[in-house]
Structure 1
Amino acid sequence: MFGDMSGMMQKIKDAQKKVEETKVRLNSVLVDENGADGKIKVTLTANREIKSISIDDALLSDKEELEDFLIITLNKAIAKASQINEHEMAVAAKAGMPNIPGMDMFK
């Protein structure tokens, strides 16, 4: 029915390996986002792990403003990292998946 089952199982294992390798590689892909006219800089990995936050001293006097800017900047950075992550993981998964008729879920 599906042809060579052992060949398909190997392709699935290869796809899993490729996905795991991609996860590791995404730890070194850095995403930068600037906010508050460059007074806040956030760096995180494509796996959405925060690596650094830099805050200009001018923002330290207003706690609420700083919190608002941090939330906005972090959310933008997380959105960028998520987009990169999802794209790379889909590419990795598609590359190793066997061609099963009717199961083309990665168009």
Structure 2
Amino acid sequence: MTPETLNSFFSICIGFALAGALVNGYQALSQRTAGFGLLQEGVAPKTFAAVPFLVFAAPFIIMRNTLRGARLESRRVEFVMMATIIAGFWSMMSGTFFLMTLRAAGVLA
């Protein structure tokens, strides 16, 4: 396995872990599930605060909604596969950003 592949895999794992932690923390604090509906609450400061939260929490929300829809609505395999690829790519990008931020702050070498 090349170092680039290992780095990408690590970024995907960190991105999904960060997304899961954010969504579960939100659910623990607010007693409701996080979703893209947070953006539909009108023009308010909490709507603008939801944007950075959803940028990093989106991979978990996409996969949760996809797996729930596959089970309840019998969605096609192609749709589930496409959503998984989108969530994985999004997770890799957010994980890469998070790791770069940690490196810039001097937490990681």
- What's the TM-score, normalizing by structure 2? 0.35
User: Which fold has the larger relative contact order, with Cα–Cα distance below 8 Å and residues 6 or more apart in sequence?
Assistant: 2
Q: Which protein has the bigger helix share?
A: 2
Higher radius of gyration, 1 or 2: 1
